[in-house]
């Protein structure tokens, strides 16, 4: 059994990790931390876990965490980087669900996240945890930087086209929509029910923190820098991301449907839908699947890719569990075989 600990278990990604790991056949939950909720039984805060998780929240104790095989950080940006080094030295594998180790350019990270990096020497070692792109590197990692939710949806959508050099690297557009849970479990006027219900708006047009992460990953896939316009939107729902992606094809005669089906044929968590389909966010609610459809409107030179994920699962906790499975040579689908909830 893999002994797992979670630092920061009270947010939305934290409770998703708890939900997934509690039913994982090869995981033993050892510790769940929260400074503010020390001593509170997990099932008291999250009643859906009653009968499944018997632990109480505790303050982070590095000596206790060292007894785990893997530690997940479901914490705000800037927390994991202050604790990771000691855990790695003790032989503990770390999966960070925040952004501390996603960007390889440390000064650029510091600019976008507004703080100094506490462990810049570990950034180069950290492996970007998008299994469909980086599986072999993940297998040997000590430190995994779990991708952001928007980057997961966008990169999986563009990846086959960029890998084959089929679209121009300039002028890419990602028009993405997310449910309110993407803002985290905190009190904020902008995500109050009365503010979100019946409303639809863009935000972060001048620059969203996920933009450099998306550009970095797409650039590595393409072998050169990409020009990307990324516009996120908030929609009145709890879960889900839908990304509509636009690119300009370089040539003619490519069967795009066949390209996507071939690229993702052996990927358990990417579902390429039949030609002409339109993926829905409700079809991925609660599961670790990205559903993709590719279109070439009117047979022109513009390709449109539709990508839908659950931002809390494939966009966060589910992908983290997928990475853990890879790290410990477990079946990649272990603990992640659920069916989406409808309606």
Residue 298 tokens, joined: 């009117």
| Closest alpha carbon to 143 in 87, 79, 220 | 87
How far does CA 92 lie from the centroid of its chain?
A: 21
Please give the backbone phi and psi of residue 159, each rounded to the nearest 5 degrees, phi first.
-50, -50
How far apart are the C-alpha atoms of 273 and 278, rounded to whole Å? 8
CA atoms within 13 A of residue 16's CA, in its CB half-sphere: 28
| Closest alpha carbon to 153 in 247, 16, 292 | 292
Active-site residue set: 149
Burial, 114: exposed, middle or buried (Cβ in 10 Å; 0-12, 13-18, 19+)?
Answer: exposed
How far apart are the C-alpha atoms of 246 and 171, rounded to whole Å? 8
Q: Which residue has the tokens 């479990």?
A: 185
- Using DSSP, state whether 337 is helix, strand or coil: coil
CA atoms within 13 A of residue 85's CA, in its CB half-sphere: 9
Query: Which whole-number Å values give the CA distances from 170 to 155, 216, 246, 249, 289, in the listed order?
Result: 15, 14, 11, 11, 28
182-185 LR contacts (CB < 8 Å, sep 24+): 182/149, 182/234, 182/241, 182/311, 182/315, 183/234, 184/11, 184/12, 185/10, 185/11, 185/12
């Amino acid at each position: 059994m893999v002994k797992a600990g979670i630092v920061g278990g009270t947010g939305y990604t934290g409770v998703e990790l708890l939900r997934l790991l509690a039913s994982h056949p090869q995981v033993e939950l050892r510790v769940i931390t929260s400074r503010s909720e020390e001593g509170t039984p997990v099932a008291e805060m999250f009643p859906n876990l009653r009968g499944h998780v018997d632990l109480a929240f505790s303050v982070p104790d590095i000596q206790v965490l060292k007894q785990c095989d893997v530690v997940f950080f479901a914490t705000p940006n800037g927390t994991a980087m202050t604790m990771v080094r000691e855990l790695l030295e003790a032989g503990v594998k770390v999966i960070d669900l925040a952004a501390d180790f996603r960007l390889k350019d440390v000064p650029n990270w510091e600019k976008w996240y507004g703080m100094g990096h506490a462990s810049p020497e570990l950034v180069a070692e950290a492996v970007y945890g998008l299994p469909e792109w980086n599986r072999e590197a993940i297998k040997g990692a000590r430190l995994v930087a779990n991708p952001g939710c928007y980057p997961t949806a966008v990169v999986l959508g563009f990846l086959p086209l960029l890998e084959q050099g089929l679209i121009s690297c300039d002028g890419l557009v990602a028009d993405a929509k997310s449910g309110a849970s993407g803002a985290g479990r905190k009190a904020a006027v902008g995500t109050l029910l009365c503010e979100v219900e019946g409303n639809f708006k863009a935000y972060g047009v001048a620059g969203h923190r996920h933009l450099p992460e998306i550009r970095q990953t797409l650039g590595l896939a393409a072998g050169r820098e990409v020009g990307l316009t990324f516009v996120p939107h908030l929609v009145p729902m709890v879960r889900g991301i839908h990304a509509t992606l636009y690119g300009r094809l370089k040539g003619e005669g490519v069967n795009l449907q066949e390209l996507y089906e071939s690229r993702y044929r052996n990927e358990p968590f990417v579902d390429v839908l039949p030609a002409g389909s339109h993926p829905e966010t409700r079809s991925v609610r609660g599961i670790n699947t990205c559903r993709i459809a590719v279109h070439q409107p009117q047979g022109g030179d513009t390709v449109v890719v539709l990508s839908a994920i659950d931002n809390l699962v494939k966009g966060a906790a589910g992908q983290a569990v997928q990475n853990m499975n890879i790290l410990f040579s477990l079946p990649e689908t272990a603990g992640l075989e659920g069916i989406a909830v409808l309606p």
